[in-house]
Amino acid sequence: MFSKFFIRFLFYIFSIYFLYISLSFSAGKSFELYDIKFSFDGIFGTFDKPSARRGLQIYREVCSGCHGLKFIAYRNLTSLGYSREEIKNIASEYEIEDGPNSEGEMYLRPAVSSDNFIDPYANINMAKFMNNGAAPPDLSLIVKARNYGSKYVYSLLMGYKDIPDNFDSLNGYYNKFYPGHIIAMPQPLYGDDVEYLDGTISSLEQEVIDITTFLTWTSHPEMVDRKKMGFKVLVFLIFMTGLLFLSYKKIWKPVKDGSI
């Protein structure tokens, strides 16, 4: 009697708890970010490579003036479908400091495939000085570093609005999605910032999707492999559960039949 009541009690408590969790999650999610669907969403989602490649073009032509990408090496671009030759050409457009040479001096040389993307500023103080006191963060892991990373980056780049009257703007720009709403970064994309190499017509939305896809790849280059592996593990576990259930039936059959 008691135990039945107790189980029912536990059931109610857990139901309320799960309801609470799911409601608070959906409340968190609806922090008014744009509800956009990406090519890499879902268990079978993969990176739209042409989009990520266009994103690289935007990074190189717009964002790289202020933001580094220090955890990505040029050779990592092979997973976006670039050939060795193309990567060599991309790398050789940048110069990096190396050394010391035999005379003890540092020198500049063209980057090679194994170098990481160069930083636009020599050090953080220079980065701050050039940007009204706010250093632009490295973008390699920005999608991982923010809640709802891809949606946040997408919304941020789409979220520049005129400063409302009741807002006092100190050295910043109004962004609907930036915490506190005043961000030191001027609106970087307007829609006609690049002439896409693959002939795609540029628009603000297209550019923002492409750069977000690219930055999601830099944060999670292993995502597609991880999903594939996850799916295999899931299939294996379902198979294993079936097998264990059948063994259980077989092992206990004599007991059930009463022959033991």
Residue in 74, 160, 211, 217 binding ligand HEC, rule: CB under 6 A: 211
Residues 45-84 interacting with ligand HEC (rule: CB under 6 A)? 58, 62-63, 65-67
Task: For residue 224, state whether it binds ligand HEC (rule: CB under 6 A).
Answer: no
CB closer to ligand HEC out of 76 and 212? 212
CB closer to ligand HEC out of 87 and 215? 215
CB closer to ligand HEC out of 112 and 182? 182
Where does 73-211 show beta strands of DSSP type E? 95-98, 107-110, 173-174, 182-183
Minimum distance of ligand HEC from residue 144's CB (angstroms): 12
Minimum distance of ligand HEC from residue 136's CB (angstroms): 4
Q: How far is CA 173 from CA 152, 158, 162, 177, in A?
A: 17, 13, 8, 12
Minimum distance of ligand HEC from residue 159's CB (angstroms): 11
Q: What are phi and psi of 171, to 5 degrees?
A: 45, 45
Q: What are phi and psi of 116, to 5 degrees?
A: -90, 160
Residues 6+ apart with CB under 8 A from 114: 73, 74, 75
Q: How far apart are CA 113 and CA 195, in angstroms?
A: 25
Read off the amino acid at residue 55.
G
Minimum distance of ligand HEC from residue 212's CB (angstroms): 8
Contact string 139-168 vs ligand HEC (x = CB under 6 A): x--x---x------x--xx-----------
Residues 182-201 interacting with ligand HEC (rule: CB under 6 A)? 183-186, 188-189
∠ CA 42-45-48, nearest 5°, is 140
∠ CA 28-152-211, nearest 5°, is 160
Residue in 131, 174, 181, 221 binding ligand HEC, rule: CB under 6 A: 131
Q: What are phi and psi of 75, to 5 degrees?
A: -65, -20
> What is the dihedral angle through the alpha carbons of 160, 161, 165, 171, rounded to the nearest 10 degrees?
30
∠ CA 68-71-75, nearest 5°, is 105
Bridge partner list, 116? 73
Task: For residue 134, state whether it binds ligand HEC (rule: CB under 6 A).
Answer: yes
CB closer to ligand HEC out of 65 and 191? 65
Task: For residue 209, state whether it binds ligand HEC (rule: CB under 6 A).
Answer: no
Minimum distance of ligand HEC from residue 152's CB (angstroms): 7
Site size with ligand HEC, rule: CB under 6 A: 23
The residues of the shown chain that bind ligand HEC, judged by CB under 6 A, are 58, 62-63, 65-67, 131, 134, 136-137, 139, 142, 146, 153, 156-157, 183-186, 188-189, 211
